[in-house]
Amino acid sequence: MPEDQTSRTLRTARELASAGLIAPGDVPAIEAVAARYAVAVTPAVAALIEAPDDPIALQYVPDAAEAVTLSDELDDPTADGPFTPVKGVVRRYPDRALLKPLLACPVYCRFCFRREAVGPDGGLLTEAELREAIAWIAATPELREVILTGGDPLMLSPRRLAWLVRALGEIPHLEVIRLHTRVPVADPGRVTEALVAALESDRAVFVCVHANHAREFSEAARAALGRLSRAAPLLGQSVLLRGVNDTPEALEDLFRAMLRARVKPYYLHQLDKAPGTARFRVDPAEGLRLVEGLRGRLSGLAQPTYVVETPAGGGKVPVAWTGRA
């Protein structure tokens, strides 16, 4: 990869071509995809890519197939919209709610279920909107847990993140603050001591790290996770993806890599049917065989729950309960 392409995030088709991540002849098709779905490949991720079709590239580098939307794909496959009482909040369960303070990410996964909403413009809640969201949470005493997501909450500045964690920690009925993030594996340099300190709270804080392949746990990522582990227990969530981790060996390597990095595998998600993501689909029956095949090969500590999002915002259930997605 040319030296000048290693120090900044790649965001356009021409930058991806210059970095050798797509063929020059594919630029027009990828520009059409990028006009609809955000693109970002950080230097940390680009350094892990060994070939255009390897498991890291497949997750992050756009493909012309994303321009094709199948009849069963949905703009909002998890039904965030109908369960949004105020801007930035999603409540699908009685005891917990999502809070999306921004919609920017360090990278944009090519299978993202919020791909119609996220992007580099940030979708940052205004001060008034964020205070309204926190006020709604404070006025809903049934809530015990708030999940900071988006977008990626670790894209907030340490000062802003500390303010948000502190504000949530002052709500008497909240017991747990959870953060969902790609930052430690996609942009590990962001995990500074100041960011780690921002997570300090007298509430239980958990950080859920999204990673789908063992190679994402680079030396820099492991160091970032080590810093984070001083502030909060680390959980791992992954998506079962064709060509990325759809073999027993790939899943075993992934979950072992998580444990070595102090991350407890938590959820393995069946792919949500977002637009243009069909190339990543794994049949749920095949997924069950893969997961069941890990029993006896991995300790219980390395076994996530294989889940699927039920229709119309019904929430997650273990795939074994349905036998189908």
pLDDT of residue 6: 58
pLDDT surpassing 70 at residue 176: yes
- What are the tens digits of pLDDT across the range 109-156? 999 999 999 998 878 999 999 999 999 999 999 999 999 999 999 999
Note the helical H segments in 97-199: 127-138, 158-169, 183-186, 193-197
The 10s digit of each residue's pLDDT in 211-223 is: 999 999 999 999 9
Closest Cα to residue 203, out of 173, 159, 163, 244? 173
Query: What are residue 307's DSSP bridge partners?
Result: 269, 318
Residue 120 CA to residue 105 CA, distance in Å, equals 7
pTM above 0.75, yes or no: yes
Model confidence over 226-258: pLDDT tens digits?
A: 999 999 999 999 999 999 999 999 999 999 999
How does pLDDT run across 283-296, given as a tens digit for each residue? 999 999 999 999 98
Start-end of CATH 3.20.20.70 domains in the chain: 81-322
Topology of domain 81-322 in CATH is TIM Barrel (3.20.20)
Helices (H), 170-247: 183-186, 193-197, 219-228
**What's the token pair of residue 28?**
């027009």
Strand partners, 204: 176
